[in-house]
Structure 1
């Protein structure tokens, strides 16, 4: 056996093999401590491409396994891998319908590439609020009554209308994307929910012209470096 470039690649009798150890925290999910199999090629370039593809798929799958095993503190945070509760309404739901927590994972996995950490945190936090109030149910089980209860809970927390709007926007985006990915022909109950969008929002007033001119006068008195650049026309005064 000859190790070559590429952490998960080795050569045996002219054939390239893929070999990667299973992380210790994921060993209970496997019957072996490593994954090893033939890549069925003698071409190094092809082997590297296939090994890279396999490694990416494993990283993706292991991410989901860790998400399912994670115990996240705080009720407002999602706990991935929660068993699905029995449906509380009369609709019959197929077992493969995504729950909201699974919908968040799908949303973040497919739309989170290249996005800042705040993108993922907002999705988890906003949908975590829904789960706190309404439970982690299959998407097709959520009703307008759930959406209204969610709204009431946010208002009770003392959030401003703009904050409620932002949270509802995130929940709608996750719900609609996850439903579309699974081909569900359902309308999001989190759309068209009424609340006072101006609640707690104060109007931001402009700075009075008198105050601006007073500051400009102080700048003229100091005659500092910024003032010199301003006098050259790079930053015109009012």
Structure 2
């Protein structure tokens, strides 16, 4: 019988496939805010995005960073926009980005809840677009706790969001597993005293995630079996 009582998910790259969701969106967004193709290319380089191939590069700040960190990287090339204005634009545009579910989420989350597990989402995205994405997938009500980088608990890899989730659920950290696609997620789990499981539906590979994880799974479909054995 599992000792786990709750699962905390990252959002992008975990519940939703990162590349399918964000790469075409990022190219369109950069071209929209740029005044020329040259500037769009330069903006992409600032955040680790190859606009010609429509691919994020390994180590891109956009993979695990917050909208504020992305805005701070872009701001020097957009002097007519303040950092706060850029964050607002990023959040507004991101909220309407079509999300590609890794698998049909409603039945998957129902299965986990049927295992008497509480569920949370902690993301380095802002809370408003995160809630919009979960609502669009008809799963916002499946979660007991949802927090973004701007919810008042900090951002990963710091453990604040995870510990706030544990408090809200009234479950000790050692009975919670954090599931994510980046080292930010797994380091946050370690710092919070939680178990960490990596998934390969983001941009990080097995070799990158494994040193920080209790296990690395191909995607969240393998999670119920993993939980049952732990």
Q: Please tell me the TM-score bracket, short chain as reference.
A: under 0.3
**Taking CA–CA contacts closer than 8 Å with sequence separation of 6 or more, which of the two structures ends up with the larger relative contact order?**
2
What's the TM-score once normalised by structure 2's chain length? 0.24
Q: Which has the larger radius of gyration?
A: 1
What's the TM-score once normalised by structure 1's chain length? 0.23
